[in-house]
């Protein structure tokens, strides 16, 4: 049930949320720092929702391999997973679609046809039962009950008319499309206080996918069977064990790669004329470099977040060695080059097709390292990338941003960071000149932990980030978003717990400590019976809990107005709408607008001047608890 | 007006009569008699990143007195001037910028409570016209998914919040439509029976799981159930139909294979229509903000970067116009393929019985706005008068979406998208 949240804001005075203040001239950038909206009460409502988490395509491949021994690459050719806040495992967004269901059927049948199924020398149904019980326990992360066994043997029967193998393969293919294989449940059992506590098998499954990207191994299932995952210590011991496995390492590498957007490296378009060296093989070498670097920091040296950002050790294969004019192997390219931001692949991914890009790199740092959300360029602004003129450096070309008032507000936050990375070209090579002009990497970065920081080059940026409380909190936030599959709420509280330890704990220890949080084992929500095989005695169906807490008249929605740009005869405002209530809300914002609106985006309005009522567009009208939407408008005075 | 019948049928008939000329007369007489009854299928093609109007607009005047110049974006349509309607001056009245434009383009930003219920027009048509065919709709893409699935990368919506995912891999498309079932009739029937028993079990598991979850997660299981219904329809025997050839080795992610993938997808789309397995098909080239580098034209910068070239950047504008002209060529290729294959339901070519729409998500790419968003229509089985250049003076493109529904026979549709923004069909189009 959606509730209408009303927010009435009279003409606002002041700066962010502040119009008409002379100090605002030239505008402020309407940024939002994720997970930094002031104190959130994590003592209550800190638990994530009871949820189903569909396997990502990557997890599907890994799980199929673990279950059947068939090396699956089917998942990576499925419909792309949605990417929310850098990660592909967002529980809310991972849904079934008709195309995916078709692709899953094709894949399941192909896997079942190629897997090794032991031939049956006794009664076919007995063999099928043995296979089913063995595979089903792993596929569904729990023992099957008798009624499930009987149901699946029915599937076997409908294929066994052809032969044993056909029946068994049909049964396996069905299992691979079952929701019990495709979704991991975080539903739990309701305790006396109304909170849901995850079952032992759910905990085993959550540990397995979070720390090793695949279904639980035999050791985990055995512990769940014996109810030994019963303390924070026991959970952390398993997390640590999984982190040391090959799949654990690969999963953590992938977390860091996704955080940095490196998944795009293989396909990011590049100009073959400007960069003839950049073959698909070289892209692979860059990915390998990032993998080896991340493994080295996380696992070989048990490094910290700061090491991840500044370690100068890297790993070049022959191709990369040629690109950098360096020796192959474990090397240091320069004392001023290190960390994940200066990996060849990171620099190549965050650049234009035919050059470097201060903007791409500045945005990478602002959004992925400092968790600052930036608004899109306002409509009506000419967003032309500056033209290339011989003898003029990229940095000089982009100087226009700081001259143009409509662009300045946001680009003052972005471009200087990128300028510090101008010592690297569009495929990550070091350079001292650009387009014939000398490189200048000195910059002043504003709004960095609330201050302005002067840097000489990218290594200074990396070191500043390593010591920045905002960057540390952001890293904790990225990890907890990945681990929980939710981008707000519970993940914010986990991040708040982890953030103070980012500077001191090794990255591994930080990750493993996540399981100590009560939100790892508990969920809030309503309805449904206990997950797991049906209990021997029939449980009375639980009544559906009323939605809680009761709605407040305002729906808990707040709106903040900020000046995007302003000039003598008009300006543009951005409005951020945040649902801080506990219920989903359809918002409506009434604002006293100066002058007459000439253009608005991401909203509908009832009039162009005076007190204007804005309502959301189709995609942002309804806000889940904790969600935000932004809209804006330009006006003439 | 050319009229193309299946070549095989033609040769057989001619061989049987041994008199070619009279037969042709009969053929022509038949075509002249076949009164156009409107299109029976629809194809929507999308290409990204807006346009530069002065390079896109035809020369001459609105009406029938217009033309194209070789420097312009639409030049490849010069030979097919009489087969298209160039629609200028259609605007998204409630959306601006890349992302909103992408969402608004085919949905008109409808809400659940609106008559179109937030669906995109292709899915709306599929829901009304999709009965009796194996695929209510087919969505084909060309590199739409490197950034994952999101508002930027999708144009098709089954509900306000559920996007329809395009298939970016021609091999997968081929397999879904033509692959899978081999053997004699009895074997095929037995295989379908086995697969049905598999689907029944999955549905049983979904019901079991549904008892465990709270109200928050029930929609997910509902979506899964709905998806299985589509799978079940796809289980019917594949198209026994000659128009498709198996797809060779293609890397769907490789930038340089963008044209190859696009051609393969166009061929498969047209073949699927010709084989009668669907009536609603979309072809999505990249996505808004899409970065493909048109290396095959010798262009080094990404398409989105180029789309923002201002008039001072003559090289950038030239590259963008060249890239856009290339998309026009792909549209023409689609029309040509549709013209070559016969209408599976009766007389005429596929093109003469198919409404073809080329849509974009923004107007002037440099301004990030959605004013005068370019649309080109073709085919349409007489639903629209062809050979015209029309300017609708800033009318809501939602009226075009209504007109498309009307052309497809759904004359009960009075609005598409948000009815507070616009209702009714586009005056002057028919």
Q: Is any Cβ of chain A less than 8 angstroms from the Cβ of B191?
A: no
Would you state the pLDDT for residue A376?
A: 73
Does some domain include residue A514?
no
Check A618 against B214: CB less than 8 A apart: no
Nearest residue, CB atoms, A270 vs list B103, B180, B293: B293
Check B98 against A526: CB less than 8 A apart: no
Q: Is any Cβ of chain A less than 8 angstroms from the Cβ of B304?
A: no
Residues of A in contact with B418 (CB under 8 A): 604, 618
> Distance between the two ends of chain A, CA-based, in angstroms?
40
Would you state the pLDDT for residue B161?
A: 86
Mean pLDDT of A250-273: 92
**DSSP state letters, A400-468:** HHHHSHHHHHHHHHHHHHHHHTTTB-TTS-B-SEETTEEP---EEEEEETTEEEEESSHHHHHHHHHT-
Q: Is A400's pLDDT higher than 80? A: no
pLDDT digit string (tens) for chain B, length 430 residues: 333 333 333 222 332 322 333 333 333 333 333 444 689 999 999 999 999 999 999 999 999 999 999 999 999 999 999 999 999 999 999 888 898 999 999 999 999 999 999 999 999 999 999 888 889 999 999 999 888 888 999 999 999 988 999 999 998 899 888 876 767 788 888 888 999 999 999 999 999 999 999 888 999 999 999 999 988 888 877 777 878 888 887 888 889 999 999 999 999 999 999 999 999 999 999 999 998 999 999 998 899 989 988 887 889 999 999 999 999 999 999 999 999 999 988 888 999 999 999 999 999 988 888 999 999 999 988 889 999 999 999 999 999 999 999 999 999 999 999 999 999 999 999 8
More confident residue, A22 or A291: A291
Mean pLDDT of A9-26: 27
Check B368 against A385: CB less than 8 A apart: no
Please give the residue of chain A at the shortest CA–CA distance from B305: A385
Residue % of chain A over a pLDDT of 70: 85
- CA atoms in the 13 A half-sphere facing the CB of A104: 30
Test mutation, A353, A544, A600, A629, chain B, max B CBs within 10 A: A353
Residues A576 and A430 in one domain: no
Determine which of A298-302, A402-406, B134-138, B142-146 has the lowest per-residue pLDDT on average: A402-406
Would you state the pLDDT for residue B380?
A: 85
Would you state the pLDDT for residue B36?
A: 45
Residues of B in contact with A103 (CB under 8 A): 172
Among the candidates A467, A483, A502, a domain finishes at A467
Residues of B in contact with A269 (CB under 8 A): 255, 291-293, 302
Would you state the pLDDT for residue A487?
A: 85
Helices marked H in B275-313 — which ranges?
303-307
Check A267 against B146: CB less than 8 A apart: yes
Packing angle between helix A280-295 and helix A246-259, nearest 10 degrees? 110
Would you state the pLDDT for residue A94?
A: 94
For residue B408, the distance in angstroms to the closest alpha carbon of chain A comes to 24
Would you state the pLDDT for residue B292?
A: 93
Range of the domain at A39: 3-43+550-636
For residue A109, the distance in angstroms to the closest alpha carbon of chain B comes to 10
Q: Which residues, listed in sequence order, are joined to residue A331 by a DSSP beta bridge?
A: A314
Among the candidates A467, A483, A505, a domain finishes at A467
Q: Is A344's pLDDT higher than 90? A: yes
The domain spans of chain B are: 29-175+242-407, 181-237
Tens digits of residue pLDDT in B217-260: 999 999 999 999 988 888 877 777 878 888 887 888 889 999 99
For residue B26, the distance in angstroms to the closest alpha carbon of chain A comes to 44
Residues A373 and A268 in one domain: yes
Residues of B in contact with A530 (CB under 8 A): 212
Would you state the pLDDT for residue A34?
A: 52
Q: Is A551's pLDDT higher than 60? A: no
Q: Which CATH number characterizes residue A581's domain?
A: 2.60.40.290
Question: Is residue A290 classed as helix, strand or coil in its secondary structure?
Answer: helix
Check A154 against B201: CB less than 8 A apart: yes
Residues A307 and A451 in one domain: yes
Would you state the pLDDT for residue B382?
A: 84
Mean pLDDT of A112-124: 94
CB pairs under 8 A between A and B: 256
**pLDDT confidence band for A531 (50 / 70 / 90):** confident
Would you state the pLDDT for residue B267?
A: 95
Q: Is A33's pLDDT higher than 70? A: no
Check B163 against A183: CB less than 8 A apart: no
The answer to whether A455 and A446 have CB atoms below 8 angstroms apart is no
Q: Is any Cβ of chain A less than 8 angstroms from the Cβ of B212?
A: yes
ipTM of this complex = 0.78
Tens digits of residue pLDDT in A154-203: 999 999 999 999 999 999 999 999 999 999 999 999 998 889 999 999 99
The H or E element spanning position A624 is: none
Average model confidence (pLDDT) for chain B? Answer: 87
The answer to whether B341 and B350 have CB atoms below 8 angstroms apart is yes
Would you state the pLDDT for residue B349?
A: 92
Check A376 against B99: CB less than 8 A apart: yes
Residues of B in contact with A525 (CB under 8 A): 214, 216
Does some domain include residue A84?
no
The answer to whether A388 and A356 have CB atoms below 8 angstroms apart is no
Phi, psi of B99 (to 5 degrees): -70, -45
Does some domain include residue A234?
no
Determine which of A284-293, A328-337, B159-168 has the lowest per-residue pLDDT on average: B159-168
Test mutation, A90, A264, A269, A486, chain B, max B CBs within 10 A: A269
For residue A172, the distance in angstroms to the closest alpha carbon of chain B comes to 10
Interface subset of B 41-100, CB within 8 angstroms of A: 94-100
**pLDDT confidence band for A9 (50 / 70 / 90):** very low
- In angstroms, the Cα distances linking A387 to A323, A411, B50, B155, B314 are 27, 18, 20, 32, 9
3-state SS, A226-240, equals CCCCCCHHHHHHHHH
Residues A456 and A556 in one domain: no
Does some domain include residue A328?
yes
Residues of A in contact with B256 (CB under 8 A): 272
More confident residue, A512 or A33: A512
Interface subset of B 370-399, CB within 8 angstroms of A: none
More confident residue, A136 or A20: A136
Residues of A in contact with B293 (CB under 8 A): 269-272, 353
Would you state the pLDDT for residue A607?
A: 83
For residue A241, the distance in angstroms to the closest alpha carbon of chain B comes to 31
For residue A461, the distance in angstroms to the closest alpha carbon of chain B comes to 27
Residues of B in contact with A582 (CB under 8 A): none
Would you state the pLDDT for residue A24?
A: 27
Mean pLDDT of A422-439: 94
Please give the residue of chain B at the shortest CA–CA distance from A172: B198
Question: Is residue A286 classed as helix, strand or coil in its secondary structure?
Answer: helix
Positions of E strands within B203-308:
280-285
Check A618 against B109: CB less than 8 A apart: yes
Among the candidates A435, A467, A499, a domain finishes at A467
Nearest residue, CB atoms, A96 vs list B163, B224, B253: B224
Would you state the pLDDT for residue A245?
A: 96
Q: Is any Cβ of chain A less than 8 angstroms from the Cβ of B310?
A: yes
Q: Is A131's pLDDT higher than 90? A: yes
CA geometry: angle at B10 spanning B4 and B11, to 5°? 140
Does some domain include residue A564?
yes
**pLDDT confidence band for A564 (50 / 70 / 90):** low
Check A97 against B162: CB less than 8 A apart: yes
Interface subset of B 226-245, CB within 8 angstroms of A: 226-228, 230-231, 234
Residues of A in contact with B308 (CB under 8 A): 382-385
Please give the residue of chain A at the shortest CA–CA distance from B179: A106
Test mutation, B220, B272, B367, chain A, max A CBs within 10 A: B220
Would you state the pLDDT for residue A543?
A: 37
Does some domain include residue A9?
yes
Average model confidence (pLDDT) for chain A? Answer: 85
Other Cβ atoms closer than 10 A to A183: 23
- In angstroms, the Cα distances linking A304 to A296, A472, A506, B90 are 11, 11, 4, 55
For residue A296, the distance in angstroms to the closest alpha carbon of chain B comes to 28
Interface subset of B 136-175, CB within 8 angstroms of A: 139, 143, 145-151, 153, 160, 162-169, 172, 175
Q: Which of A355, A293, A352, A345 is nearest to A323 (CA)?
A: A345
Please give the residue of chain A at the shortest CA–CA distance from B111: A618
The tokens for A294 are 């991340």
Q: Is any Cβ of chain A less than 8 angstroms from the Cβ of B297?
A: no
For the domain bounded by B29-175+242-407, which CATH number is listed? 3.40.720
Would you state the pLDDT for residue A122?
A: 92
Would you state the pLDDT for residue A542?
A: 41
Q: State the Cα–Cα distance between residues A573 and A378, nearest whole angstrom.
A: 9
Q: State the Cα–Cα distance between residues B53 and B76, nearest whole angstrom.
A: 16
Could you give the number of structural domains in chain A?
Answer: 2
The answer to whether A635 and A596 have CB atoms below 8 angstroms apart is yes
The answer to whether A393 and B376 have CB atoms below 8 angstroms apart is no
Tens digits of residue pLDDT in A387-397: 667 778 888 88
Q: State the Cα–Cα distance between residues A317 and A296, nearest whole angstrom.
A: 15
Nearest residue, CB atoms, A528 vs list B149, B212, B227: B212
Q: Is any Cβ of chain A less than 8 angstroms from the Cβ of B13?
A: no
């Amino acid at each position: 049930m959606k509730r209408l949240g009303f927010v009435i804001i009279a003409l606002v005075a002041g700066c962010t949320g502040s119009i008409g203040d002379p100090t605002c001239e030239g505008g402020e950038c309407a940024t939002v720092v994720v997970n930094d909206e002031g104190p959130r009460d994590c003592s209550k409502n800190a638990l994530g929702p009871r949820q189903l988490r569909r396997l990502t395509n990557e997890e599907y491949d890994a799980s199929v391999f673990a279950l059947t021994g068939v090396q699956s690459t089917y998942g990576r050719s499925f419909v792309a997973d949605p990417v929310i806040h850098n990660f592909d495992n967002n529980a809310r967004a991972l849904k079934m679609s008709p195309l995916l269901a078709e692709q899953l059927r094709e894949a399941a049948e192909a896997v079942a046809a190629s897997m090794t199924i032991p031939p049956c020398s006794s009664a076919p149904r007995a063999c099928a039962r043995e296979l089913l019980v063995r595979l089903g326990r792993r596929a569904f992360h729990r023992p099957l009950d008798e009624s499930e066994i009987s149901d699946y043997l029915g599937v076997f029967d409908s294929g066994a008319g052809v032969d044993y193998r056909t029946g068994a393969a049909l049964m396996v293919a069905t299992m691979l499309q079952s929701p019990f294989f495709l979704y991991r449940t975080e539903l739990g059992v309701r305790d006396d206080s109304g909170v849901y506590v995850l079952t032992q098998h759910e905990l085993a499954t959550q540990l397995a996918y979070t720390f090793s990207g695949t279904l639980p191994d035999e050791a985990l299932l055995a512990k769940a069977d014996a109810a030994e995952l019963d303390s924070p210590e026991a959970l952390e011991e398993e997390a640590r064990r999984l982190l040391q496995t090959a799949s654990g390492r690969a999963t953590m590498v992938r977390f860091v790669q996704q955080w940095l957007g490196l998944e795009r490296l293989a396909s990011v378009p590049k100009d073959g004329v400007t960069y003839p060296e950049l073959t698909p093989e070289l892209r692979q070498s860059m990915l390998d470099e990032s993998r080896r670097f991340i493994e080295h920091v996380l696992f070989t040296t048990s490094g910290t977040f700061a090491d991840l950002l500044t370690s100068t050790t890297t790993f070049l294969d022959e191709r990369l060695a040629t690109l950098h004019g360096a020796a192959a192997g474990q090397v240091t390219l320069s004392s001023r080059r290190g960390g994940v931001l200066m990996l060849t692949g990171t620099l190549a991914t965050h650049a234009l097709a035919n050059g470097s890009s201060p903007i791409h790199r500045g945005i990478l740092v602002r959004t992925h390292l400092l968790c600052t959300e930036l608004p899109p360029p306002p409509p009506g602004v000419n967003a032309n990338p500056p033209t290339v003129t011989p003898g003029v450096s990229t940095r000089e070309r982009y100087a226009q941003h700081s001259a143009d008032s409509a662009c300045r507000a946001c680009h003052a936050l972005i471009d200087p960071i990128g300028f510090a990375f101008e010592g690297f070209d569009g495929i990550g090579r070091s350079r001292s000149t650009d387009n014939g002009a000398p490189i200048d990497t000195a910059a002043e970065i504003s709004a960095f932990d609330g201050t302005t920081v002067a840097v000489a080059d990218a290594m200074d940026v990396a070191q500043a980030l390593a010591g920045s409380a905002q960057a540390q909190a952001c890293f904790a936030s990225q990890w907890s978003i990945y681990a929980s599959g939710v981008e707000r709420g519970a993940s914010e509280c986990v991040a708040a717990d982890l953030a103070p330890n980012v500077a001191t704990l090794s990255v591994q220890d930080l990750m493993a400590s996540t399981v100590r949080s009560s939100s790892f084992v508990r969920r809030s929500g309503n309805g449904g019976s206990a997950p797991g095989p049906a209990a021997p005695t029939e449980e009375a169906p639980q009544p559906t809990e009323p939605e809680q807490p009761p709605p407040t008249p305002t729906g808990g929605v707040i709106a903040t107005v900020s000046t995007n740009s302003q000039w003598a005869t008009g300006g543009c405002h951005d409005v951020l709408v945040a649902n801080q209530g506990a219920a989903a809300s359809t918002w409506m914002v009434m604002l006293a607008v100066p002058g007459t609106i000439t253009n608005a985006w991401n909203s509908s309005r009832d009039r162009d001047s005076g007190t204007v009522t804005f309502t959301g567009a189709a995609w942002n009208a309804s806000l889940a608890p904790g969600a935000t939407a932004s809209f804006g408008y330009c006006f003439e005075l | 007006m050319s009229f193309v019948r299946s070549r095989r049928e033609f040769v057989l008939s001619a061989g049987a009569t041994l008199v070619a000329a009279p037969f042709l007369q009969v053929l022509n007489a038949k075509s002249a008699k076949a009164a156009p009854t409107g299109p029976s299928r629809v194809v929507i093609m999308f290409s990204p990143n807006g346009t530069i109007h002065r390079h896109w607009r035809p020369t001459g005047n609105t009406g029938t007195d217009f033309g194209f110049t070789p420097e312009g974006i639409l030049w490849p349509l010069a030979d097919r001037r009489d087969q298209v309607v160039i629609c200028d001056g259609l605007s998204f009245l409630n959306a601006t910028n890349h992302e909103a434009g992408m969402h608004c383009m085919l949905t008109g930003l409808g809400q659940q409570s609106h008559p179109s219920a937030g669906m995109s027009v292709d899915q709306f048509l599929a829901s009304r016209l999709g009965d009796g065919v194996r695929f209510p709709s087919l969505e084909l893409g060309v590199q739409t998914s490197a950034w994952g699935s999101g508002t930027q990368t999708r144009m098709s919506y089954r509900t306000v919040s559920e996007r329809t995912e395009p298939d970016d891999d021609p091999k997968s498309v081929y397999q879904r439509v033509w692959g899978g079932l081999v053997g004699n009739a009895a074997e095929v029937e037995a295989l379908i029976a086995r697969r049905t028993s598999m689907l029944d079990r999955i549905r049983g598991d979904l019901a079991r799981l549904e008892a465990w979850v709270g109200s928050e997660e029930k929609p997910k299981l509902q979506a899964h159930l709905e998806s299985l219904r589509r799978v079940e329809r796809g289980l019917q025997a594949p198209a026994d139909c000659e128009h498709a050839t198996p797809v060779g080795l293609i890397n769907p992610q490789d930038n340089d294979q963008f044209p190859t993938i696009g051609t393969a997808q166009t061929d498969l789309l047209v073949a699927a229509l010709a084989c009668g397995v669907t009536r609603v098909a979309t072809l999505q080239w990249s996505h808004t903000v899409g970065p493909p580098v048109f290396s095959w034209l010798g262009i080094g910068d990404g398409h989105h970067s180029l789309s923002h070239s201002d008039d001072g950047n003559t090289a950038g504008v030239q590259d963008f116009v060249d890239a856009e002209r290339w998309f026009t060529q792909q549209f023409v290729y689609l029309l040509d393929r549709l013209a070559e294959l016969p209408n599976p339901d009766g007389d005429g070519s596929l093109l003469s019985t198919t409404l073809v729409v080329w849509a974009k998500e923004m107007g002037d790419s440099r301004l990030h706005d959605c004013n005068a968003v370019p649309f080109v229509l073709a085919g349409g089985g007489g639903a629209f008068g062809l050979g015209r250049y029309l300017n609708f003076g800033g009318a809501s493109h939602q009226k075009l979406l209504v007109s498309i529904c009307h052309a497809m026979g759904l004359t009960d549709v009075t609005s598409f998208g948000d009815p507070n923004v616009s209702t009714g069909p586009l005056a002057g189009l028919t």
